[in-house]
Structure 1
Amino acid sequence: MVKPGSHSWMVAWFSARAALGLPLHLHGGGRQIRDLVHVDDVAEATVRSLIAPRAHNETLNVGTGTPTSVRTVADLVRERFPGTRVLDTPMPPGDPVGGYASPHRMISTLAWKPAITVADGVERYVRWLGKTPDAVPEWLQAERSASV
Protein backbone atom coordinates (compact mmCIF):
# COMPACT_ATOMS: atom_id res chain seq x y z
CA MET A 1 0.00 0.00 0.00
CA VAL A 2 2.43 2.72 1.14
CA LYS A 3 6.17 2.66 0.44
CA PRO A 4 8.59 4.43 2.79
CA GLY A 5 10.14 7.49 1.17
CA SER A 6 7.96 7.24 -1.92
CA HIS A 7 6.58 10.25 -3.76
CA SER A 8 3.75 8.15 -5.12
CA TRP A 9 0.69 6.86 -3.31
CA MET A 10 -0.21 10.36 -2.12
CA VAL A 11 -3.82 9.65 -1.09
CA ALA A 12 -2.84 6.41 0.67
CA TRP A 13 0.15 8.04 2.38
CA PHE A 14 -1.75 11.08 3.65
CA SER A 15 -4.77 9.00 4.69
CA ALA A 16 -2.71 6.45 6.62
CA ARG A 17 -0.77 9.17 8.42
CA ALA A 18 -3.94 11.10 9.26
CA ALA A 19 -5.68 7.93 10.49
CA LEU A 20 -2.76 7.41 12.90
CA GLY A 21 -2.82 11.03 14.05
CA LEU A 22 0.52 11.79 12.39
CA PRO A 23 1.14 15.13 10.64
CA LEU A 24 1.13 15.48 6.87
CA HIS A 25 4.44 16.77 5.51
CA LEU A 26 4.00 19.14 2.59
CA HIS A 27 7.34 19.57 0.85
CA GLY A 28 7.59 23.04 -0.58
CA GLY A 29 4.22 23.86 0.96
CA GLY A 30 2.42 21.35 -1.25
CA ARG A 31 2.33 23.56 -4.31
CA GLN A 32 3.43 20.74 -6.64
CA ILE A 33 0.87 19.82 -9.27
CA ARG A 34 -0.15 16.28 -10.16
CA ASP A 35 -2.77 14.67 -12.40
CA LEU A 36 -4.40 12.12 -10.13
CA VAL A 37 -6.33 9.29 -11.74
CA HIS A 38 -8.28 6.79 -9.65
CA VAL A 39 -7.18 3.17 -10.04
CA ASP A 40 -10.67 2.19 -11.23
CA ASP A 41 -10.37 4.73 -14.06
CA VAL A 42 -6.90 3.44 -14.94
CA ALA A 43 -8.33 -0.09 -15.12
CA GLU A 44 -11.20 1.14 -17.31
CA ALA A 45 -8.79 2.89 -19.66
CA THR A 46 -6.69 -0.27 -19.88
CA VAL A 47 -9.66 -2.44 -20.80
CA ARG A 48 -10.94 0.11 -23.30
CA SER A 49 -7.49 0.31 -24.92
CA LEU A 50 -7.62 -3.45 -25.52
CA ILE A 51 -10.84 -3.20 -27.53
CA ALA A 52 -10.70 0.27 -29.12
CA PRO A 53 -10.03 -0.14 -32.85
CA ARG A 54 -7.36 2.61 -33.02
CA ALA A 55 -5.71 2.06 -29.65
CA HIS A 56 -3.19 -0.60 -30.72
CA ASN A 57 -1.29 2.02 -32.76
CA GLU A 58 -1.49 4.84 -30.21
CA THR A 59 0.46 5.96 -27.18
CA LEU A 60 -2.04 7.43 -24.75
CA ASN A 61 -1.71 9.52 -21.63
CA VAL A 62 -4.19 8.22 -19.10
CA GLY A 63 -5.08 11.33 -17.17
CA THR A 64 -7.82 13.71 -16.25
CA GLY A 65 -6.24 16.88 -17.64
CA THR A 66 -7.02 18.46 -14.26
CA PRO A 67 -4.14 19.90 -12.25
CA THR A 68 -4.40 19.13 -8.54
CA SER A 69 -1.98 20.46 -5.96
CA VAL A 70 -0.52 18.27 -3.25
CA ARG A 71 -1.96 20.74 -0.72
CA THR A 72 -5.46 20.20 -2.16
CA VAL A 73 -5.13 16.46 -1.55
CA ALA A 74 -3.90 17.10 2.00
CA ASP A 75 -6.88 19.39 2.61
CA LEU A 76 -9.31 16.75 1.31
CA VAL A 77 -7.79 14.16 3.66
CA ARG A 78 -7.87 16.62 6.57
CA GLU A 79 -11.62 17.16 6.01
CA ARG A 80 -12.09 13.47 6.84
CA PHE A 81 -9.62 13.48 9.76
CA PRO A 82 -10.28 16.72 11.67
CA GLY A 83 -7.35 17.89 13.75
CA THR A 84 -4.74 16.53 11.37
CA ARG A 85 -1.71 18.79 11.41
CA VAL A 86 0.16 19.93 8.32
CA LEU A 87 3.87 20.67 8.41
CA ASP A 88 5.36 22.73 5.59
CA THR A 89 8.81 21.35 4.88
CA PRO A 90 11.52 22.31 2.38
CA MET A 91 11.22 21.04 -1.17
CA PRO A 92 13.62 18.11 -1.66
CA PRO A 93 16.20 18.55 -4.42
CA GLY A 94 14.91 17.19 -7.70
CA ASP A 95 11.25 17.03 -6.62
CA PRO A 96 9.35 18.08 -9.74
CA VAL A 97 6.88 20.93 -9.46
CA GLY A 98 4.81 18.72 -11.72
CA GLY A 99 2.24 18.93 -14.40
CA TYR A 100 -0.79 17.17 -15.74
CA ALA A 101 -1.68 15.04 -18.72
CA SER A 102 -3.31 16.12 -21.93
CA PRO A 103 -6.10 13.54 -22.25
CA HIS A 104 -7.34 14.66 -25.70
CA ARG A 105 -5.88 11.70 -27.63
CA MET A 106 -7.13 9.26 -24.94
CA ILE A 107 -10.65 10.74 -25.09
CA SER A 108 -10.67 10.62 -28.89
CA THR A 109 -9.22 7.11 -29.18
CA LEU A 110 -11.16 5.45 -26.36
CA ALA A 111 -14.34 7.55 -26.61
CA TRP A 112 -14.11 7.85 -22.83
CA LYS A 113 -12.68 9.97 -20.05
CA PRO A 114 -12.01 9.34 -16.35
CA ALA A 115 -15.07 9.85 -14.15
CA ILE A 116 -13.85 9.63 -10.55
CA THR A 117 -12.86 13.00 -9.11
CA VAL A 118 -10.00 13.44 -6.65
CA ALA A 119 -12.51 14.27 -3.90
CA ASP A 120 -14.49 11.09 -4.62
CA GLY A 121 -11.27 9.07 -4.75
CA VAL A 122 -10.15 10.38 -1.37
CA GLU A 123 -13.58 9.63 0.10
CA ARG A 124 -13.52 6.07 -1.28
CA TYR A 125 -10.01 5.45 0.03
CA VAL A 126 -10.70 6.82 3.50
CA ARG A 127 -13.87 4.72 3.73
CA TRP A 128 -11.92 1.61 2.66
CA LEU A 129 -9.12 2.36 5.12
CA GLY A 130 -11.69 2.67 7.92
CA LYS A 131 -12.90 -0.85 7.11
CA THR A 132 -9.35 -2.16 6.60
CA PRO A 133 -7.17 -0.66 9.35
CA ASP A 134 -4.63 -3.48 9.00
CA ALA A 135 -3.73 -1.97 5.62
CA VAL A 136 -1.61 0.62 7.43
CA PRO A 137 1.92 -0.82 7.32
CA GLU A 138 3.61 -1.83 10.56
CA TRP A 139 6.56 0.51 9.95
CA LEU A 140 4.16 3.47 9.82
CA GLN A 141 2.36 2.30 12.95
CA ALA A 142 5.79 2.12 14.60
CA GLU A 143 6.40 5.77 13.67
CA ARG A 144 3.21 6.63 15.51
CA SER A 145 4.33 4.66 18.58
CA ALA A 146 7.70 6.42 18.53
CA SER A 147 6.08 9.87 18.35
CA VAL A 148 3.71 9.30 21.28
Structure 2
Amino acid sequence: MRYFSVYGQLQVIKPGSHSWVVAWFAARAAAGLPLHLNGGGHQVRDFVHVDDIAEGTLRALTGPAADRKTVNLGTGRPTTIRTAADLVSGHFPGTRVVETPMPPGDPLGGFAGTTLMQQVPGWQPAITIEDGAAQYVRWLKSTPAALPGWLRQEAGQRA
Protein backbone atom coordinates (compact mmCIF):
# COMPACT_ATOMS: atom_id res chain seq x y z
CA MET A 1 0.00 0.00 0.00
CA ARG A 2 1.26 3.45 -0.84
CA TYR A 3 -0.56 6.08 1.19
CA PHE A 4 -0.83 9.66 0.09
CA SER A 5 -1.40 12.67 2.41
CA VAL A 6 -3.25 11.04 5.30
CA TYR A 7 -5.04 13.30 7.76
CA GLY A 8 -7.73 13.00 10.39
CA GLN A 9 -8.68 12.87 14.00
CA LEU A 10 -6.10 11.88 16.60
CA GLN A 11 -3.21 13.34 14.60
CA VAL A 12 -1.20 15.57 16.92
CA ILE A 13 1.62 17.55 15.38
CA LYS A 14 5.23 17.22 16.47
CA PRO A 15 7.88 19.96 16.47
CA GLY A 16 9.92 20.06 13.29
CA SER A 17 7.58 17.75 11.39
CA HIS A 18 6.64 18.73 7.87
CA SER A 19 3.76 16.36 7.31
CA TRP A 20 0.13 16.37 8.35
CA VAL A 21 -0.75 19.68 6.71
CA VAL A 22 -4.38 19.75 7.88
CA ALA A 23 -3.36 19.05 11.48
CA TRP A 24 -0.60 21.68 11.34
CA PHE A 25 -2.89 24.34 9.95
CA ALA A 26 -5.68 23.55 12.42
CA ALA A 27 -3.32 23.54 15.42
CA ARG A 28 -1.67 26.81 14.42
CA ALA A 29 -5.05 28.46 13.78
CA ALA A 30 -6.42 27.18 17.10
CA ALA A 31 -3.38 28.67 18.85
CA GLY A 32 -3.90 32.01 17.10
CA LEU A 33 -0.76 31.63 14.98
CA PRO A 34 -0.53 32.44 11.26
CA LEU A 35 -0.60 29.71 8.64
CA HIS A 36 2.53 29.65 6.50
CA LEU A 37 2.22 28.94 2.79
CA ASN A 38 5.64 28.01 1.46
CA GLY A 39 5.94 29.31 -2.07
CA GLY A 40 2.40 30.64 -1.92
CA GLY A 41 0.80 27.25 -1.27
CA HIS A 42 0.58 26.20 -4.90
CA GLN A 43 1.91 22.71 -4.22
CA VAL A 44 -0.66 19.94 -4.54
CA ARG A 45 -1.34 16.96 -2.34
CA ASP A 46 -3.81 14.12 -2.41
CA PHE A 47 -5.46 14.47 1.00
CA VAL A 48 -7.03 11.19 2.06
CA HIS A 49 -8.88 10.83 5.35
CA VAL A 50 -7.64 8.21 7.82
CA ASP A 51 -11.06 6.51 7.82
CA ASP A 52 -10.79 6.03 4.05
CA ILE A 53 -7.24 4.71 4.51
CA ALA A 54 -8.43 2.14 7.04
CA GLU A 55 -11.29 0.95 4.84
CA GLY A 56 -9.17 0.91 1.69
CA THR A 57 -6.34 -1.00 3.37
CA LEU A 58 -8.71 -3.63 4.71
CA ARG A 59 -10.38 -4.11 1.33
CA ALA A 60 -7.08 -4.21 -0.57
CA LEU A 61 -5.62 -6.78 1.82
CA THR A 62 -8.62 -9.07 1.60
CA GLY A 63 -9.43 -8.74 -2.10
CA PRO A 64 -7.69 -10.39 -5.04
CA ALA A 65 -7.51 -7.24 -7.23
CA ALA A 66 -4.57 -5.84 -5.24
CA ASP A 67 -2.76 -9.10 -4.48
CA ARG A 68 1.04 -8.70 -4.83
CA LYS A 69 0.70 -5.25 -6.37
CA THR A 70 1.69 -1.77 -5.29
CA VAL A 71 -1.57 0.04 -4.65
CA ASN A 72 -1.93 3.81 -4.38
CA LEU A 73 -4.39 4.70 -1.68
CA GLY A 74 -5.60 8.24 -2.23
CA THR A 75 -8.52 10.13 -3.66
CA GLY A 76 -7.01 10.84 -7.07
CA ARG A 77 -7.95 14.50 -6.48
CA PRO A 78 -5.23 17.17 -6.39
CA THR A 79 -5.77 19.84 -3.74
CA THR A 80 -3.47 22.82 -3.25
CA ILE A 81 -1.93 23.57 0.11
CA ARG A 82 -3.56 27.01 -0.16
CA THR A 83 -6.97 25.33 -0.43
CA ALA A 84 -6.26 23.30 2.73
CA ALA A 85 -5.27 26.52 4.54
CA ASP A 86 -8.44 28.26 3.38
CA LEU A 87 -10.62 25.32 4.49
CA VAL A 88 -9.07 25.31 7.97
CA SER A 89 -8.86 29.09 8.45
CA GLY A 90 -12.56 29.40 7.64
CA HIS A 91 -13.23 27.74 11.01
CA PHE A 92 -11.01 30.21 12.90
CA PRO A 93 -12.05 33.80 12.09
CA GLY A 94 -9.14 36.21 12.04
CA THR A 95 -6.54 33.60 11.12
CA ARG A 96 -3.75 35.14 9.10
CA VAL A 97 -2.32 33.33 6.10
CA VAL A 98 1.26 34.34 5.31
CA GLU A 99 3.18 33.53 2.16
CA THR A 100 6.73 32.38 2.86
CA PRO A 101 9.59 31.43 0.53
CA MET A 102 9.66 27.92 -0.87
CA PRO A 103 12.26 25.85 1.00
CA PRO A 104 14.90 24.24 -1.20
CA GLY A 105 13.82 20.78 -2.26
CA ASP A 106 10.18 21.24 -1.23
CA PRO A 107 8.24 19.04 -3.67
CA LEU A 108 5.51 20.51 -5.82
CA GLY A 109 3.53 17.40 -4.97
CA GLY A 110 1.15 15.18 -6.80
CA PHE A 111 -1.84 12.97 -6.40
CA ALA A 112 -2.61 9.27 -6.54
CA GLY A 113 -3.29 7.31 -9.66
CA THR A 114 -6.22 5.27 -8.38
CA THR A 115 -6.93 2.93 -11.29
CA LEU A 116 -5.93 -0.21 -9.39
CA MET A 117 -7.71 0.81 -6.21
CA GLN A 118 -10.91 1.39 -8.20
CA GLN A 119 -10.84 -2.35 -9.01
CA VAL A 120 -11.03 -3.24 -5.32
CA PRO A 121 -14.72 -4.04 -4.71
CA GLY A 122 -16.60 -1.77 -2.37
CA TRP A 123 -14.00 0.94 -1.95
CA GLN A 124 -14.27 4.57 -2.90
CA PRO A 125 -12.94 7.41 -0.79
CA ALA A 126 -15.97 8.70 1.05
CA ILE A 127 -14.68 11.78 2.90
CA THR A 128 -13.85 14.89 0.91
CA ILE A 129 -11.11 17.26 2.05
CA GLU A 130 -13.83 19.83 2.77
CA ASP A 131 -15.71 17.48 5.12
CA GLY A 132 -12.56 15.91 6.56
CA ALA A 133 -10.95 19.25 7.43
CA ALA A 134 -14.18 20.34 9.15
CA GLN A 135 -14.24 17.04 11.10
CA TYR A 136 -10.63 17.52 12.19
CA VAL A 137 -11.29 21.09 13.34
CA ARG A 138 -14.35 19.96 15.34
CA TRP A 139 -12.27 17.20 16.95
CA LEU A 140 -9.43 19.60 17.80
CA LYS A 141 -11.83 22.15 19.30
CA SER A 142 -13.47 19.43 21.41
CA THR A 143 -10.12 17.96 22.50
CA PRO A 144 -8.08 20.89 23.87
CA ALA A 145 -5.35 18.55 25.17
CA ALA A 146 -4.55 17.72 21.53
CA LEU A 147 -3.06 21.19 21.09
CA PRO A 148 0.60 20.63 22.07
CA GLY A 149 2.04 22.61 24.96
CA TRP A 150 5.07 23.67 22.91
CA LEU A 151 2.72 25.26 20.36
CA ARG A 152 0.74 27.03 23.07
CA GLN A 153 4.05 28.33 24.42
CA GLU A 154 5.04 29.61 20.96
CA ALA A 155 1.69 31.39 20.70
CA GLY A 156 2.20 32.92 24.16
CA GLN A 157 5.65 34.21 23.22
CA ARG A 158 4.19 35.96 20.17
CA ALA A 159 1.37 37.61 22.11
Question: So what's the TM-score if we normalise by structure 1?
Answer: 0.96
Deviation at 1:111, TM superposition (A): 4.3
User: What is aligned with 1:134?
Assistant: 145
Question: Helix, strand or coil for the counterpart of 1:25?
Answer: strand
Aligned to 2:48, which of 16, 25, 37? Answer: 37
Identical columns (%): 60
Aligned to 1:122, which of 110, 133, 157? Answer: 133
Deviation at 1:51, TM superposition (A): 1.4
Structure 2: 5+ residue runs without aligned partners?
1-11
Kindly report the root-mean-square deviation, in angstroms, between the aligned alpha carbons of the 2 structures. 1.0
More helix, by proportion: 1
The residue identity in structure 1 corresponding to 2:148 is: P
User: What is aligned with 1:98?
Assistant: 109
Deviation at 1:5, TM superposition (A): 2.4
Aligned mates of 2:68, 2:36 — CA distance in 1: 41
User: What is aligned with 1:74?
Assistant: 85
Contact 1:2 1:137 (8 Å CA) reproduced: yes
User: What is aligned with 1:62?
Assistant: 73
Contact 1:29 1:71 (8 Å CA) reproduced: yes
Which shifted more, 50-59 or 120-129? 50-59
Aligned residues: 148
Deviation at 1:138, TM superposition (A): 1.0
Aligned to 1:12, which of 16, 19, 23? Answer: 23
Which shifted more, 69-78 or 106-115? 106-115
Structure 1: 5+ residue runs without aligned partners?
none
Contact 1:62 1:103 (8 Å CA) reproduced: yes
Deviation at 1:110, TM superposition (A): 4.1
The residue identity in structure 2 corresponding to 1:91 is: M
The residue identity in structure 2 corresponding to 1:134 is: A
Question: So what's the TM-score if we normalise by structure 2?
Answer: 0.90
User: What is aligned with 1:28?
Assistant: 39
More strand, by proportion: 2
